[in-house]
Amino acid sequence: MIACLERYVHETDAESRQDVSSICKTLDLQGSIEFGGGPTGFADKDFGGVYSFEPLAVIRPSCADDVARVVKAASRSSNLTVAARGNGHSINGQAMAHRGLVLDMRSTEDNHFKLLTINGVYYVDVSGGALWEDVLKRCVSKFGMAPRSWTDYLSLTVGGTLSNAGVSGQAFRYGPQTSNVTELEVVTGKGDVLICSENENPELFFGVLGGLGQFGVITRARVVLQSAPDMVRWIRVVYSEFDEFTRDAELLVTQPVKGESSFDYVEGFVFVNSDDRVNGWPSVLLDPGHGFEPDHKPPTAGSVLYCLEVALHYNSDNNLSAVDTVVSTMLGRLGFNRNLKFQVDVSYVDFLLRVKRVEEQAKTSGIWDSPHPWLNMFVSKSDIAEFDREVFKKILKDGIGGPMLVYPVLRSKWDNRTSVMIPDEEIFYLVALLRFTCTNPKPPTVEKLVAQNHEIIQYCNKRGSDFKLYLPHYKSQEEWKNHFGNQWTRFVEMKACFDPMAILSPGQNIFSRLP
Ligand code: FAD
C-alpha cells in the first residue's frame, strides 16, 4: 500500500491514479479514502485563503483506530505526512499537507457524545472532530448544560481549537478552552492510541493542548460543563479614551462586585470614529432599532473609539427588574459615555451563535469566501497603551474591514504546563485583527495587508514588547525557536517522543519530515 501511495506522490496525477478501493482495502479502514483534495478540493484551502497545498489524499476516518492505521502507514513510508483537518478555519495553511494525507476529522463528529459526572462535576465526552456549535446545541437540548469556555465563532472543531487555545469573553473567568478539558484520547505520531490527563500520560496531555497538532491527533476530549442559562443580557458601551476603556475592562476581569455576580463575558473592540458602515459607529449597534448619535461623543475623541462588550447570564424565570439592578450596579462602577450604551436580551444559544449570523450575511455579500489575512496576538498589559497609540490610532486608524478585538485575560487562568505561549504578565490582552477584504471598490491587495501585519509585528519586536502571536505562523525554525523561547527545548523533546519522524501537522512548518 505504501509503495503504491509513494508512486502516486512521485508520478504525475494522470499516470498514477490508483484504485481507491484497493488502497482502502489494504489500509482496512472503516472510513473512506479519496485521492486529491477531496471532491471539491476543500482540503487544499482554508479560511485564510492565502495558501493552497494539494494533498495526496483525503481520508475520512471513522474512529481512532482508523487514524492510527493512517499514521502508522505514513510512518512506514519515506516521506508521507499527515494533517488532521478540523474545519479548516486556519489562516495560513496550518491544516494542509502538501502531497501528504489529510484526515478530515469532521467524519468522526458524532463519535463519543456522552454525559458523565465525576465527584459532582459534569463533563461531556466529545469527538475531536465535533463542531463546538453542535456540542453546544446537543448539550443544551439534551442535558440543559453547556461548556464554560468558548470561542466567539463556533463552526470550529474541538480538536482544532484545543490545538491552539480557544479564547473568548469567558476566558477571564474560566481560562481558555485548553483549561477546560480534563482528559483526551490522542493518536500519537507513532500511531499509538493513548488516553491522557493530568494524571495519566501528563506530558502528552499538556503537550497536545495548544500543541499545534504536533504531538498527536485528538480523537476525544472530556469537556467540563456547567448548567446552561436561558438568557443573556448583551451590552455594549463606548469610550473615547483608551486608558478609561482598559481600566474598566481590567476592573471587570479582576474584581467582581462583592456579594454580586460578575459579568459572564467581557470583551472589547476598537472601531473607527466615523459613520463607515463596517468600520465605524454602526459596528457597535446590537439591534436594527439602535442608533449611534455622534453628538454624544466628546469633541476630544480621536481617530478611533473603544467598545466594551459584556454579557450577563440569567434564567427566564428571573425577575427582570432584579437583572436590571445587577447590571446597573456592575455598570455603575464604569466610566463609559452614558449616552452611548446599547443592550439587547437574547437566548443563551443565540448569543453564543452570534457570529454565525455574521457568517450568513458575509456569505451573501461574498466577503466570507474572500481572503482573510488575520493577525492574532497576545500583548501584555504594560505594552497595550503604546500598542494603541502606534497601531490602533495610526497604522489601523481607517479600520480593517472587520473587527479589531482587544480585551484582557488573566495568565493565572491558563495552565502553564500546556504548549500555548503567552506573555509573562498576569494581565495580557488578546488582540485580533479580523480583516475582511473586498469591502470597498478598490480593496488593498492581500500582500499589502500581510505586509501591514508584518509592520505591526516588527513594531512590537523593535519596541521589545512582551507579546506572543496567537495562531502563530512562521516560515523558519529560527522564528519558531524565538516564539517558544525557553520552552523550545521541551517542545523539541516532546516531538522526538511522540512524533519522532515529524509526520503530523506539516502545515505548521515547524519540523521537517524525517525519512
Ligand atoms: P483547523 O484549521 O482545521 O486546524 C488547525 C490546526 O489544528 C492544524 O494544525 C490542524 O492540523 C490541527 N488539528 C485540527 N484538528 C485536530 C485534531 N483533532 N487533533 C490534533 N490537531 C488537530 N480562535 C479563538 O481562540 N477564539 C475565537 O473567538 C476565534 N474565532 C474565530 C472566528 C473565525 C471566523 C475563524 C475563521 C477562526 C476563529 N478562531 C478563533 C481561530 C480558530 O480557533 C483556529 O483557527 C482553529 O484552529 C480553527 O479550528 P478548525 O477546526 O477549523 O481547525
Question: Residue 12's pLDDT band (boundaries 50, 70, 90)?
Answer: very low
Cα(88) to ligand 1 centroid in Å equals 7
Catalytic residue among 267, 309, 388, 499: 267
Cell triple for 465: 514588547
pLDDT of residue 255: 81
Q: What does the pLDDT average to over 197-202? A: 98
Q: Under a CB-based contact definition with an 8 Å cutoff, are residues 176 and 165 in contact?
A: yes
pLDDT of residue 23: 55
Rounded CA-CA distance 396/378 in Å is 17
Q: Which helix (H) or strand (E) holds 219?
A: strand 216-227
The CA-atom distances, in angstroms, between 322 and each of 57, 234, 319, 325, 328 are: 57, 16, 5, 5, 10
Residue 6: pLDDT over 90: no
Return the SS3 of 184: strand
Q: What does the pLDDT average to over 296-318? A: 93
For atom 7 of ligand 1, the residue with the nearest CA is: 160
pLDDT of residue 257: 53
Q: Under a CB-based contact definition with an 8 Å cutoff, are residues 265 and 174 in contact?
A: no
Say how many C-beta atoms besides its own lie within 10 A of residue 58's C-beta. Answer: 24
Cell triple for 121: 462535576
Question: Residue 261's pLDDT band (boundaries 50, 70, 90)?
Answer: low
| ipTM for this model | 0.99
Cα(364) to ligand 1 centroid in Å equals 23
For atom 32 of ligand 1, the residue with the nearest CA is: 153
Return the SS3 of 187: strand
| 388 is a catalytic site residue | no
Q: Which residues line ligand 1 (CB under 6 A)?
A: 46-47, 83-90, 94-95, 105, 128, 151-153, 156-157, 159-161, 163-168, 212-213, 217-218, 471, 505, 507-508
Predicted TM-score of the model (pTM): 0.94
Cα(94) to ligand 1 centroid in Å equals 9
In which residue are the cell numbers 517542545 written?
A: 491
Residue 190: pLDDT over 90: yes
| 152 is a catalytic site residue | yes
Task: Read off the pLDDT of residues 351-375 as tens digits, 9 standing for 90 and up.
Answer: 999 999 999 999 998 899 999 999 9
Residue 308: pLDDT over 50: yes
Cα(145) to ligand 1 centroid in Å equals 23
Q: Percent of the chain at pLDDT above 70?
A: 92
Please, what is the average pLDDT of the chain? 92
Rounded CA-CA distance 506/213 in Å is 9
Instruction: Annotate 83-147 with DSSP letters as a single string.
Output: EEESS---SSSTT--TTSEEEEGGGGTTTT-EEEEETTEEEEEEETT-BHHHHHHHHHHHHSEEE
Cα(163) to ligand 1 centroid in Å equals 7
Rounded CA-CA distance 228/231 in Å is 9
Residue 227 amino acid letter: S
Task: Read off the pLDDT of residues 41-51 as tens digits, 9 standing for 90 and up.
Answer: 789 999 999 99
pLDDT of residue 41: 79
Q: What does the pLDDT average to over 295-312? A: 93
Residue 476 per-residue DSSP state: S
Q: Under a CB-based contact definition with an 8 Å cutoff, are residues 344 and 412 in contact?
A: no
For residue 219, the ligand 1 atom closest to its alpha carbon is 18
Question: Residue 172's pLDDT band (boundaries 50, 70, 90)?
Answer: very high
| 386 is a catalytic site residue | no
Residue 256: pLDDT over 80: no
For atom 8 of ligand 1, the residue with the nearest CA is: 95
Task: Read off the pLDDT of residues 485-508 as tens digits, 9 standing for 90 and up.
Answer: 999 999 999 999 999 999 999 999
Catalytic residue among 54, 65, 125, 152: 152
Return the SS3 of 344: strand
For residue 89, the ligand 1 atom closest to its alpha carbon is 52
Task: Read off the pLDDT of residues 42-95 as tens digits, 9 standing for 90 and up.
Answer: 899 999 999 999 999 999 999 999 999 999 999 999 899 999 999 999 999 999
Rounded CA-CA distance 327/316 in Å is 16
Q: Is 490 exposed, middle or buried (0-12, 13-18, 19+ CB in 10 A)?
A: middle
Task: Read off the pLDDT of residues 398-456 as tens digits, 9 standing for 90 and up.
Answer: 999 999 999 999 999 999 999 999 999 999 999 999 998 875 667 778 999 999 999 99
Q: What does the pLDDT average to over 279-284? A: 96
Catalytic residue among 46, 89, 248, 250: 89
Q: Under a CB-based contact definition with an 8 Å cutoff, are residues 158 and 360 in contact?
A: no
Mutate to test the pocket of ligand 1, among 156, 205, 505 (most ligand atoms within 8 A of CB): 156
